[in-house]
Structure 1
Amino acid sequence: MAFSCSGMEGRYVNIFIPGVQKTLQLCEIKVYATTDITGANVALRGVATQSAEPASAATAPHMANDDYPLETCASVPLQDNPWWQLDLRSIYRITAVSIISIGDCCSEELNRAEVRIGLRNDNSNQRCAIISIAAGQRIYNYQCGIMEGRFVHVVLPGLHKKLTVCEVKVYGAVLENVALRGVAFQSSLRSKTTGQASRVIDGQFSTCSITEDKPGQWVTVDLLVPYNVTVIQLAFSENCCYGDEVRVDDTRCTISSSAQSLMTLDCGGIVGRYVTVIHPDIPPPLCEVEVYSTWENPQNIVPQWPPPNDYCSLASCSRDYILIHNEPKTWFEAQTYCRERYTDLATINNNHDMNRVVDKMENDFSDFWIGLYQDVINWRWSLSDEGYYGDGEAEFRNWGVSEPNNENTIQHCANIQHMGEWGDLDCDLLNYFLCFDGRDGAPETKILVETPMNWADAQRYCREHHTDLLSVRNQAENQDIQSMVPIGKLAWIGLFRDSWKWSDGSNSLFRHQWQGSLDSLGEGLNCAYVYNRKWNVRSCDTKSMFLCYYFKKRSVVTIKTDFDMNDLAIQQQILSQLEKEMKNKGISDFKISWRMSGLVSVKQEIKDNNK
């Protein structure tokens, strides 16, 4: 059995069975903790295909998963929305994907390509990342949380595109097939010597169950105990059986892949003991029934990290919000909806953003989800710039004896004393604090501010006058700053513990006025919503309206001409040419408007939906 602990920090792992007169027997415990991409490249086990025939055998699909990134590449000839696909043939818990490009000469052949992972063998799977090519860089690593799937797609949206990928590496572990623990039986047996039901759970695709040659036959696997069934795979002796009905107890699963010999079904976490495959027509041999049971739903029950939006610079883009009021959804359903159609659930960075959010409310009593959710409490630094930390430096800690102790469950901010040891305190206490100044053009500086403030005010002061509260990255830095703290005093540093995270992975620490107490929340996942202009918290399973955000991209084109720009025919001709050019670049959602002032300029506004 495998469990995801979502990055919980700790030293001790405890396994216990509640109750009296119990026996606990364990054969093996394995604990994994990693920040880098490690492990086996499982892409070598998969079968690669692509959207168009290669120009030659040297650029065939399998050249991108042959483990020779410097020598071979797969290439899809010029077409609309080209893609490269990897079928892993089993269901994996995928933790990371690495993409290797051909180099600076052909960067446009991979730039802005999307990496998608899931159960479907088409381009509608969940997006893991958008590749943004950087000069001199060939390897692009993406850690997307834990995503479960069989197919990995690299898709390049747009018209008349050529896609070139030199290597795709996939890191993860195959999920356990719990059907191997069960027993199987079937409606009939064609032969007394071959085709028994047990062959569908023997772990081999070469042996098959064979029922009588007539419609309505079925095969059932008894898992012996109820499981939380998320995925089922069926292996047949030939491509077929798209019309088969597959049930977990009395609930039907959805077929995710098209008719083929290895068929994947999404069961969405149905709890049941019996898996039944019913053939409406005369069935071919059924060779294997694989059942996967996990706590992570392949359709995004656990929040995933979306791709970065650095391809849309602040100079050319603005963030906007849209309220979806006619399709109430749970928080996780809303997250999936926003990511598929826009960018993500709304992130609110400051009071200005909050005022814009309030403008989206139809009346004072509207309530809707935003992108804030409660996760595992962990310690993190106020300064979130990843480039500031070397390997392992963001995890450096120098706690004193019995620290952190979270006394009275309110000590969520870290301090340092003159001996260099750290402790945790109530963030509302007043202390000296240490700022870090790393602004461009000035040497990095550490500053002790001897005006006592609470942690939040200290953070605000450091950000306004310097860069941020101080991060301590290693023992040498800790020894350097401990002498700055006066004897008998404590000083805030930038380390704090927080359980709230934004859906898009933003490091925004902005929190608006909360309605009610956060200490009385029940068990289970809790998410934030806006009600009557204040923030509130409730179970993420509640159905509600929700707020998405997206990026609007603006471009201004100045046209100088001797023609009469007041001539409507000339205006129409220019507009037609601009529209054609936009469509040739693969942009379909745009608006063009005129502004007449001495020179004539054309302003084009694009609502950028995940491009």
Structure 2
Amino acid sequence: MYSISSISITNRNIVGERINKAEILIGNSLDNNGNNNPRCTVIDSIPNGGTSTFDCGGMIGRVVNLYHSGSDPQSVMSVCEVEVYGELYQAPSPSLSVGVNGGSIILVDKKLSWSDALFYCRDFHRDLLSIRNGEEQTKVEELLGNPTFPVTEHVWLGLRRYLMGEKWFWMSGDDPNDYSHWRHQTQSPIRQSSSPCGGIETSAPFHWTDHSCEDHANFICFDGDGTDVQKVTFFSSARSPKLPP
């Protein structure tokens, strides 16, 4: 299955009106030649020899169909070219969640590097989790205390250190010093002895710990309306960022 962002259609040079009122359908069903799938849009018209692009907003499917429902049985629909743009769809992995502050925190049954975990959370939820107070820490401990699948010794949080300094920050933009649960005397580790990515131990006392960003570990996402949660823009050489709305 693919997430379809847009479809470009080039019309033929003559009798271009044959494309008028055709529907673009996207889905997974082959029933009725695919004509039962959800509709992206209806094509009002495309000039003779012209090309128009239609936004399908990431609709999910493995079948793209152009369908003309004209009442005239002799009507013919023809096109010059069709181009489909999108990316392979990856369904979210199994997860375990608990509610907190009008949203939910989700422990994902998938092991990724820190940056891949961040992108995963921003693709399928809202963000890699930032722990901003004792209530959220308690909810994370509740989640990690009753896993339904094996988890790594630490799981990733949205905790990051500036590469050129000692200061840590949450990917929500919050300051980890406002509430702290580090292993080392409740203070963040100094630059000389720390790795730049942060996680949380998966057993009591559930301290925050620093690790190599390339470690593959489970991770915790946050999901909710996010009205009080911002996002720090993150760039990776392996992937372009999806900026916040």
TM-score interval w.r.t. the shorter chain?
A: 0.3 to 0.5
Q: Which has the higher strand share?
A: 1
Instruction: Using structure 1 for the length normalisation, give the TM-score.
Output: 0.15
Rg larger for: 1
